[in-house]
């Protein structure tokens, strides 16, 4: 049989997993990347931005791994995909995996331009641009108190910047920490990071960030970390790409990673999800070529966590539904620690751990069995 030729569009976590899985099975793989560097571990961009890691250190695999696997890593932006004709930039392939990831969302703040336009942190170019303007003693205003914004704040503080985090919602990380959030606040304050939670941003001016309550957060640099939007354009959609359960969007054409929505569940940006999708897209592409049945995608239970030095939190399962019963697992003696389990009708459904991970793994297993 002729060697199948596969195009993978996007060399992030989903694309790289798919590329190596398909190359291992003897496919001729072309991996398109619109970034000039080797594919990298995206969460580590935060460490690059604040000078705690060098760009080469966060590569997913060394250059040699692509050469050894005979993967043609092409630094070329894909402008057009025709799913029905199975072409990428006009060239015909036996299979295609769309793995184009997300882009940062910047709300339409009133802006007065210059250095104070908000920066984003999603690509290597963003990280290097941020690194060039961040120096010890500078003031950094972080807009957004999600995992990315909080980790950026901690790493910036470690690098000697004066940091304030502004979050418009009434709670950090979408309310995932519940009453445990006070423990996290204390940990941030101990690092010298100011938190302004429950107040939005109305404008970004040369002096910093103007808040909806009229206050001003001084900032030499403003980082906007207000969520992301899926890159679905090559699949012909503006938002998430609604795939079939096997991740296909057309015969031989699959979508994996952040933009892919195979079930009713709203997709989340997560490395593990993207990797698993890349692997499944590869298996199902091979199954289709061999005339075998495809496997459906099943949404995994993904923990939401952050750890920078001794500041950490870990959540799992349902931590957001109203009406859950919350039972504290620790004795409250250590003010730096919060551990609680959420129950529905007497059965454990969610975990909230702040300041430690001790005991989380055992509960994770119990939840999986419940």
Q: Where along the sequence are the contacts to ligand FAD (CB under 6 A)?
A: 9-15, 32-35, 42-43, 45-46, 77-78, 99-102, 121-122, 147-148, 231, 234, 257-258, 269-272, 274
Complex with ligand FAD: residue 173 or 367, whichever CB lies closer:
173
> Smallest distance from the beta carbon of 125 to ligand FAD, in angstroms?
10
The residue sitting closest to ligand FAD, measured at its beta carbon, is 12
CB 92 within 8 A of CB 85: yes
Complex with ligand FAD: residue 203 or 228, whichever CB lies closer:
228
Tokens of 63: 């250059």
CB 152 within 8 A of CB 308: no
Complex with ligand FAD: residue 76 or 310, whichever CB lies closer:
76
Measure the CA dihedral 128/130/133/138, to 10°: -140
> Smallest distance from the beta carbon of 210 to ligand FAD, in angstroms?
25
Complex with ligand FAD: residue 55 or 198, whichever CB lies closer:
55
> Smallest distance from the beta carbon of 331 to ligand FAD, in angstroms?
30
> Smallest distance from the beta carbon of 298 to ligand FAD, in angstroms?
18
CB 247 within 8 A of CB 277: yes
> Smallest distance from the beta carbon of 366 to ligand FAD, in angstroms?
23
Residues facing 32 on adjacent strands: 9, 74
Residues facing 313 on adjacent strands: 306, 354
CB 210 within 8 A of CB 133: no
From first CA to last CA, the distance across the chain in angstroms is 47
> Smallest distance from the beta carbon of 188 to ligand FAD, in angstroms?
17
Complex with ligand FAD: residue 300 or 346, whichever CB lies closer:
300
**Which candidate, 124, 35, 40, places its Cα nearest to that of 74?**
35
Question: Is the torsion defined by CA of 200, 148, 231, 223 positive or negative?
Answer: positive
**Which candidate, 163, 161, 132, 133, places its Cα nearest to that of 145?**
163
Q: 330 phi and psi, to 5 degrees?
A: -95, 170
Complex with ligand FAD: residue 128 or 271, whichever CB lies closer:
271
What single string gives the DSSP state of each residue in 220-253? SEEEE---EEE--GGGT-SS-EE--TTSEEETTE
> Smallest distance from the beta carbon of 139 to ligand FAD, in angstroms?
20
Complex with ligand FAD: residue 49 or 349, whichever CB lies closer:
49
Complex with ligand FAD: residue 74 or 185, whichever CB lies closer:
74
> Smallest distance from the beta carbon of 205 to ligand FAD, in angstroms?
25
What is the spatial distance between Cα 350 and Cα 341, in angstroms, rounded to a whole number?
A: 6
What is the spatial distance between Cα 370 and Cα 367, in angstroms, rounded to a whole number?
A: 5
């Amino acid at each position: 049989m002729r060697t199948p030729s596969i195009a993978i569009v996007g060399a992030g976590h989903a694309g790289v997993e798919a590329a190596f899985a398909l190359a291992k099975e003897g496919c001729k793989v072309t991996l398109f990347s619109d970034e000039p560097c080797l594919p990298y571990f995206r969460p580590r961009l935060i460490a690059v931005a604040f000078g705690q890691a060098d760009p080469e250190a966060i590569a997913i695999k060394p250059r040699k791994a692509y050469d050894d696997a005979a993967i043609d890593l092409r630094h070329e932006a894909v402008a057009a995909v025709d799913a029905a004709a199975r072409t990428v930039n006009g060239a015909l392939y036996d299979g295609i995996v769309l793995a184009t990831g997300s882009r940062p969302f910047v709300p339409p703040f009133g802006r007065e331009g210059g250095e104070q336009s908000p920066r984003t942190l999603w690509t290597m170019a963003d990280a290097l641009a941020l690194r060039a303007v961040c120096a010890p003693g500078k003031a950094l205003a972080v807009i957004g108190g999600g995992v990315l914004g909080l980790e950026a704040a901690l790493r910036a503080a470690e690098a000697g910047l004066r940091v304030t985090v502004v979050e418009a919602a009434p709670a950090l990380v979408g309310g995932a920490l519940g009453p445990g959030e006070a423990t996290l606040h204390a940990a941030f304050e101990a690092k010298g990071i100011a938190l302004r939670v429950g107040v939005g941003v109305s404008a970004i001016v040369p002096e910093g960030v103007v808040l909806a309550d009229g206050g001003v957060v001084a900032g030499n640099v403003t980082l906007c970390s207000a969520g992301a939007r899926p890159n679905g354009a090559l699949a012909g959609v503006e938002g998430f790409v609604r795939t079939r359960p096997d991740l296909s969007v057309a015969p031989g054409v699959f979508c994996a990673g952040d933009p892919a929505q195979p079930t009713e569940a709203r997709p989340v940006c997560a490395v593990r999800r993207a990797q698993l999708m890349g692997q499944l897209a590869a298996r199902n592409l091979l199954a289709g070529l061999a005339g075998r049945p495809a496997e459906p995608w099943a949404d995994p239970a993904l923990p939401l966590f952050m750890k920078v030095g001794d500041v950490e939190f870990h959540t799992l399962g349902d931590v957001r539904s109203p009406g859950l019963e919350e039972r504290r697992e620790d004795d409250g003696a250590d003010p730096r620690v919060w551990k609680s389990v959420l129950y529905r009708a007497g059965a454990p459904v969610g975990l909230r751990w702040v300041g430690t991970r001790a005991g989380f793994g055992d509960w994770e297993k119990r939840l999986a069995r419940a």
